[in-house]
Structures are given as structure tokens and as C-alpha cells.
Amino acid sequence: MPPNTTASTGDKPGKSGRKKGRKARLIVLVLVLALIGGVVYGAYWSISTVRSSFPQTKGTVTLQGLSGPVDVKRDGYGIPQIYASSAEDLFMAQGFVQAQDRFYEMDVRRHMTSGRLSEMFGKGQVKNDAFLRTLGWNRVAQREYDTKLSASTKKYLQAYAEGVNAYLKGKDASDISLEYAALGFTNDYRPGRWTPVDSVSWLKAMAWDLRGNMQDEVDRALMTSRLGPKQIKDLYPDYPYARNKAIVTEGQYDALGRTFRASGGAGTPTGTAGSAGTSTGTGRPSGTAGTHGTSGTAGTGRSPGAGGTPASSGSGVQSQLMGLHDAMQDLPSAVGVNGDGIGSNSWVVSGKYTITGKPLLANDPHLGPALPSVWYQMGLHCRTVSSACPYDVTGYTFAGMPGVVIGHNQDIAWGMTNSGVDVTDLYLEKLSGDGYLRDDKVVPFTTRQETIKVAGGAAKTITVRETGNGPLLSDRDDELVTVGRKAAVDTAAPDRGDGYAIALKWTALEPGTTMDAVFALDKAKDFGEFRSAAALFDVPSQNLIYADTRNHIGYTLPGRIPVRAKTDDGSIPAPGWDSKYDWTGYLKQDELPYEYDPKRGYIVTANQAVVDPKTYPYALTTDWGYGARSQRISDLIQSKIDGGGKISTEDMRQMQLDNSSEIAKLLVPKLLKIDIGDKDVRQAQKLLEGWDYTQNADSAAAAYFNAVWRNVLKLAFGNKLPKELRVKGQCLWVEPSDTTGPADEAQKVRECGERDSDQAQPDGGDRWFEVVRTLMDDENSDWWKAPAAGTRPKADNRDELFRRAMIDARWELTAKLGKDIDTWSWGRLHRLFLKNQTLGSDGPGFLQYALNRGPWKLSGGEAAVNAAGWNAAGGYGVIWVPSMRMVVNLADLDKSRWINLTGASGHAFSAHYTDQTGKWAKGDLLTWSYSPDAVDRSTSDKLTLKP
């Protein structure tokens, strides 16, 4: 029962409307609770049981430990702005207020990060807890708190914890949330006190979901069972630097002030990255079309080093890696879809191109949808800003963590997107007795015992083993241990002996200072202080954009980024027994790229390449996003500039809502040239005539095109991937993986996919855009071949496969939406369901009905700027979203705008549970009050906290 916790000017609802809404909710609530009480449990839950957990938002509350009074002002959406006279009071009040709204969410999160979900939810979580204990997030967080964080950060964390515990004091679990009341029927669990380390641990969960290319590393190795190096290279094409520009083209990258070669040709690079080795090899895609490709190391356009990497071959290692994927897939997700498909947009425009004459900054992180949203909006204000109380900041944070993560203060604004730099490596370790092989010597494991308490059952004790590269993830599955003893590897590897295991090396498994960075960002006043704060933001590595009220814009890449030996680029698992594959250190902060006031007047980050390797001497990753979103945003900004216009806050909002499909622009002209004989398919094809490639929710053309795109991917690539990457339950007759030539029909075996639908490949993202673009002119590529299926014709070339995809798409949508294409729309396929964490996913059906919300029919799509993402292998449902949207106006901060995916409250029947979702779905933004006067004007409820 893994939890998945994630993150237009709106008018404030009138009081009468709010009362009517509350009355309607209470009527529904009576019915739901009567059902729960009378039918299921034979008990009666009164309205007071539910309402008792709602926060007090008016009047006065005494809070022991405060040094002075604190005001909590909430607007019509329940968003709090806190005013205090000392920093400690400010963060204590933040803890109290967040616990009022979201404590159940906070409690689940801390049990997840510490590997203690079994204490809440029973034996079904033991496997997840064991994996999380092996990673050891909570242990690292404790070391971080003990040895790395500053005295002031510890003081603020302690104050925050005191505020949370002040809220908990004297409350029964059922007084805290409806979910606890439901848990009480099967479990006598009671929440414990909050600790500072509980807050720090959450940063590890965030880092895990934003960890970079680890899944690509696993996938490339799994592909070697059916694809040769040439085919794998086809599926991981080089980044198109000439077409989709990197983030930094005019910046600097080291303490000597050395610069990148600017796009206009100015400047000279001082060093260049080593030339990329190109994977070689021929062969045909295996599976339903062609013969099995040459076995070998998965290529990514980089040489894996002499001798190859042993993790790339052998059925035993394949099973090891699939077991690892399964374990990761089942893990609770902190902010996304277990690290896959997570993107984000942020950009900033200089005042010389804006209506206001000052910068505008936009951000919308793309994360997994959850209820409540991962983000919590609030303001933290010292009544008098001074060195003793330096905070006057507002924005988005996480429930359970003090400070503001993304937002603005009185001087600067900042946003974040995931940089995607490679900060994880998997190592294949050679086991030998009670140790592991290291440069021809056996080294003993570092071990520890972990005891997992289980609600309603016996405790389970596990042993965690670590090598010098990190914890053995493969120990968490008995089958993996057995497989490791039988793993086949290449001739460069040592003898099998006692088998092989998989270890994880990850920057977040060392104590860091990210919590210090949050407080430093919140009080930074200029670009120098911003970069100094960013230097503390070691994990996860993020693209940080910047703007200030003095009309400057900037970008910096922070993070603890490893330097690898020249024999390894981190793209595939490495041999742990050979020290040549060790990390040799980390890039220094002044070796990382940044930009300040670039001449072009804007900076765009959307998970594309940070730098062009021709102009930057250090390796960051080979697995960037491919730049479809970033280049579209840049084109929208540049077209406005070229037209002589000035950019407004409304323009920034409209750019966030851009639904244009970049892959449709490439494919539709080809699709329209294909002769279609079937009148029903021809009727669907005509939808694409005159279509502007915009994926609006009411568009029939968007529905049909995306169905065609899904079927192109399935026929050309999906049916040729190994079962470990295909959708669970999707079964095909394929050639055995050890076949070296074409197999006759009698030799083929039935293989069924093994991956959850939101994790399978091909997912249809912009990597697949680039795959298809690269193959487009090779009309007779083996990738375009597909066998006949029933009455559906076979394909021997590109256009025949496109025709087949159009036929398949027509009948797929007929089954899903009906034969009458006049009733088709993208929104009927592309729907968002919001599920309450834990009980909303795996609770009884009636409880899911009470806790969950939706669906909403959404515009947007995969790799569109309005990135309502879906997995083309699995279906059309929305699996990641712009988790919030904001536009900061540095000329007048009170004219900034923001929105959250859900609402401020985690209480299922609160008026603020999903009161922002409808506006979010339409693309509206709410007024974002900042100044004291603006906050007072928008205040609906005021609570005073007194010592």
C-alpha cells in the first residue's frame, strides 16, 4: 500500500458560497459515514468525529514555548501567512500550522523515509521497509543532523518540531485525521513525537525520486537480452544540441572565469570533453520482427571502457536487474513516479523584454499527482526583518519541513527543475564468502542489523550488507541472491564463485547540507548570496533560476556531482571489483556552470542538457531530457521578442499552458500522405487535416493522433523490447533470446510483459521523439517492420507501419470512445484521478470513494510545455502533472500569481481539500498576496498563537 505523496486570476469565493459548499459536503459526509458505520464496521461515526480534526483558524491558541505572539492569516483558500517577531517563533508556528492541515501526510512520509511503514499498515509493507532500511535514509539524515548542519539550522528544525508536537499534545489519533480513525479499526497505532531528523529525512526521499539516470542504466542493461549495441544506440540517440539548445551558452564554469562558447560564436572554450566513442555492431531488432541482434554492451554514444561492463550480459544479471527494478517500482514515491518521467519547466525573462521593465519568473515542476499535493503554500514573515529574524519569504514548501523551497522574498525569486545529472551508479559486486572481491583481494562486508516492527504481526530482522560502493540492494530479494550465484558474465569478469550482487553508489547516501541551503535561499538578497546558498544544495542536483528586483536574472547548477574514472561514463552498471571504475571525487562548486544576465535576455530550463560537451570539460550525464519542451518555450519567448512585443504575466501563464505537440509536427504531414482505403480509418485520418497540433481536451484530432503515436511506438519498438520493459500482461510470441538467426513459428515462445503500465517502455517521451526523428529518413529500417496480426496487415517499411498504426488507432478509439468520431475528444482519454495517499489507493472501496477525487479531463500531453504526462506503452491516463504553477512579478510582488494542484488541507472533507484543482485544470492562477496590506485584504481567518 505505497503512498504517493507529491506538488487567470482567481476570485476569492464568497462567504455564502463557502457555506453552501460546506453544507453540501456535510450531507455527503453523513451518507458516507453512515455507510461506513452501519454496513462495514457496525459502528457509527458522527460528524463531530470528522470535524474534530479540522484546524482551528480563528481566535487564540496558547502554544507553550513561544517567546511572543504569532499571527496566522489564512486567505479564502486556506493558505496561511505567518507573522512572528523571532525566527524560532516563526518556524515553531510553521510546524504547528502544517500539522493542523497535513499531519497524517507528514506522519506517513516520516515512516516511509525511515522504513517504518509496517508499523502503520502491517505486513504488506515489510518488503518496502526492508529496501528503505537498506538504503538507510534515516541513518544518513541523523548523521547529517549530527555532523553537517549549522547551529542555526538545527535551532530552526528544533523549533519546527516543537510546533508539530504542540499540535499533537493531548490529541487522540482520531482527533488528527479521518485516516487515523479508519486505521483504528484494524490497528492500535498512535502517532509519536516529531523530531528534527524527521524533517531532514524527507530530503532523502525527494532526492531518490529525482536521482537521475538510474532507471536508464537498468533499462539499457536489460535490453541486451534482445537487442545488440546498434539497436540500443538507436533507442538512446545523441542529444540534438544544434536543434535544442542547452541551458547555458553564455555563462562561466570555473573560478578563473572561463566561459562557454556563445551561440553567436564569441568566446573560446578552454577545454573540451573527450570525444565520444560510438557503439558499433549490426543486427536486427529481435522479437516479433527480424532476427535477434548481436549480444553486447548497451551503447549510449559513449565508450564503456576496455573489456566492456560485465553487468550487460548474462540471463542471471538480467534477472538481478529486473528484480531491482521491481523493488524500486514498488517503493512508495515521494514526489514523482519513482523517478521516471519526472520533468519540470522554469524560465526567467529580463526586464528589457517585459511590460513591467523588471524580470518575470515562471516555474511548474512536473511530478506525480497526489492528494494532497506534495506542495504546501505559505508565507513566513518576520515582523521586522533583521539579522536576528531575517525572513520575509513566501512560496511552496513540503509539509513536514521548515522554510520555503521555491518562491520569493523581498529581493529575489527562484525556481527549480531537475537537472538530471548522473549521481547514481550501480555496481556488480563479486561475492566471496563473507566478503567481496576488490582488486584481487577479498574485503569483508560492512554489516548492520535492522529490526522492522509490524502492526499486528511479529517483527522481522534483516541484515544490511555494504561494500565500498554502497548497500547491496540485491540482498532484499531471495530470488536475486540465488540468481547472483548463477549469473553469467563476460570473459573479463572474475570466476563466479559465490555469485554476484548489485550495490548502489549514490551521492545522497553521504551526509549533506541541503537543509542549510533552504534557509540560506530564503534570506538571500542578490546573486552572490543566491549562489552561495545554492552551493549548499548538494542533493538532489537541481537547475536553479534566479531573478531580482534590481533587474538581474541568472542560473546556477548546484549539487554534489561525481567525477568518474575515464573508463566509465556512468551509463551502465560497472564492475565493483575493479578500482578503475571508482568515483575519484566531486566537481567543485566553482567548476559548475552558471549564467548571469545573458545577452539574449532570458534563461529556460526544462530538463534539457545543461551544457554542450564541446564547450565544457566535465562530464555531467549522457541522459538529459531531449529538449522538446525547453526549445518550445525558448521559441515562444523569442517569437514575442522578434515581434517587438513585451512579455506580461499573462503571457507567461499562457506559455505554461502551451499544448503544442512537437512529435505531431513531425509525423502528421507523413500520415496525411498515406493512402487509406478503409472509409472508417480515412474518416479518422481526415481529423488531422488542418489540425494545428494543439492537444486541447476537446480535440478529436489530438485523441486520434496520440492513439496513432501510441501504436507507432508499440509496433516499431515496444513489441521488440524484452519482456522486462513491456507492460505487465502484454503477451507476444517471440524468438527465444538465445536465437542467432530467424526462428520458425514452432520455435517461438510466449513472453508476457512484466512492468507496471506507468513504468513500461516505450513511454512516448521526448527521447522517443528523437528516436523516431532520427530513423525517419531510413524508410526501410528494420525498426519499421511488423508482422500481420489477424486481419491487420504486416509492415515492411515506414509508411506501411504508419498505415497499420492508423488502422489500429481507429479501432482502439472505437472501442474506447465509440464509432462516432464526432464524440471523440482527447480529454475523454486523458483524465486525471487524484488518489489520497495510502487508504485512497489500497483501502476499502467505500473509503477510496470518500477520500479520492476526479476525474478531470486535461489538455496537454507528453513532452508538451503543459506536461500532463501519460505513458504511451500503458495507456492515456495522466500519470504526472504540473504539480503547481507560479509566475513571479519582480516589479510588483503582489501582482505575482500561483496555484496548487489540490488545496492547502489534507482533510478529506475540508473546503480546502481540492478547492484549487478545478482552476488548476483550467490553467487559472490565483492572486498571490505578499505585502502586509495585500495579505490583510485577502485574509478570511486569523488565528493568534500566544505563549
Report whether pLDDT(573) > 80: no
Contact 628, 662 (CB under 8 A): yes
Report the alpha-carbon distance of residue 630 to residue 614 in Å, rounded.
20
Report whether pLDDT(603) > 60: yes
Higher pLDDT, 846 or 827: 827
Amino acid at 943: L
Mean pLDDT, rounded, of the chain:
85
54-63, 269-278, 702-711: which has the minimum mean pLDDT?
269-278
| pLDDT at residue 863 in the model | 93
505-526: pLDDT as tens digits = 999 999 999 999 999 999 999 9
pLDDT-derived band at 907, boundaries 50, 70, 90 = very high
Angle at 658 (CA atoms; ends 654, 663), nearest 5 degrees: 165
| pLDDT at residue 206 in the model | 83
pLDDT-derived band at 252, boundaries 50, 70, 90 = confident
Contact 255, 590 (CB under 8 A): yes
Q: What percent of the chain has pLDDT over 70?
A: 81
Higher pLDDT, 222 or 548: 548
DSSP string computed for 308-331: --GGGS-HHHHHHHHHHHHHHHHS
| pLDDT at residue 744 in the model | 63
29-38, 174-183, 804-813: which has the minimum mean pLDDT?
29-38
212-226, 233-247, 412-426, 591-605: which has the minimum mean pLDDT?
212-226
pLDDT-derived band at 332, boundaries 50, 70, 90 = low
| pLDDT at residue 565 in the model | 82
94-121: pLDDT as tens digits = 999 999 999 999 999 999 999 999 999 9
15-47: pLDDT as tens digits = 444 444 443 343 334 334 433 443 344 333 456
Contact 838, 862 (CB under 8 A): no
Report the alpha-carbon distance of residue 558 to residue 575 in Å, rounded.
28
- Quick one: which of 307, 378, 922, 241 has its CA closest to 572? 307
606-647: pLDDT as tens digits = 999 999 999 899 999 988 999 999 999 999 999 999 999 999
Report the alpha-carbon distance of residue 834 to residue 370 in Å, rounded.
6
pLDDT-derived band at 204, boundaries 50, 70, 90 = confident
Report whether pLDDT(89) > 50: yes
Cell of 737: 533470446
| pLDDT at residue 342 in the model | 57
701-726: pLDDT as tens digits = 999 999 999 999 999 999 999 998 99
729-755: pLDDT as tens digits = 889 988 776 554 555 666 788 999 988
Report the alpha-carbon distance of residue 340 to residue 368 in Å, rounded.
10
Report whether pLDDT(273) > 80: no
| pLDDT at residue 312 in the model | 42
Output the CA–CA distances (angstroms, integers) from residue 543 to 242, 420, 434, 625, in the order listed: 21, 9, 42, 13
What residues have CB less than 8 Å from 266, skipping those under 6 apart?
none
Report the alpha-carbon distance of residue 785 to residue 289 in Å, rounded.
6
Kind and range of the H or E element at 33? helix 15-35
pLDDT-derived band at 174, boundaries 50, 70, 90 = confident
| pLDDT at residue 745 in the model | 63
Strands 70-75 and 939-946, sheet pairing: antiparallel
State the average pLDDT over residues 483-495.
44
Cell of 451: 529490526
| pLDDT at residue 270 in the model | 32
| pLDDT at residue 208 in the model | 81
State the average pLDDT over residues 84-91.
98
DSSP string computed for 521-588: HHH--SHHHHHHHHTT--SS-EEEEEEETTS-EEEE--S--EEEPTT--SSS-EETT-GGGSEEEE--
Angle at 888 (CA atoms; ends 73, 534), nearest 5 degrees: 95
State the average pLDDT over residues 2-21.
39
| pLDDT at residue 321 in the model | 60
Q: What percent of the chain has pLDDT over 90?
A: 67
Report whether pLDDT(267) > 70: no
408-435: pLDDT as tens digits = 999 999 999 999 899 988 888 888 888 9
Report the alpha-carbon distance of residue 650 to residue 656 in Å, rounded.
10
637-687: pLDDT as tens digits = 999 999 999 999 999 999 999 999 999 999 999 999 999 999 999 999 999
- Quick one: which of 497, 481, 621, 639 has its CA closest to 557? 621
Amino acid at 178: L
Output the CA–CA distances (angstroms, integers) from residue 891 to 51, 334, 553, 938, in the order listed: 42, 35, 13, 20
Sign of CA dihedral 91, 93, 94, 95: positive
Higher pLDDT, 876 or 756: 876
Report whether pLDDT(480) > 50: no
- Quick one: which of 768, 785, 766, 802 has its CA closest to 720? 785
State the average pLDDT over residues 240-258.
84
State the average pLDDT over residues 768-788.
97
Cell of 295: 549480444
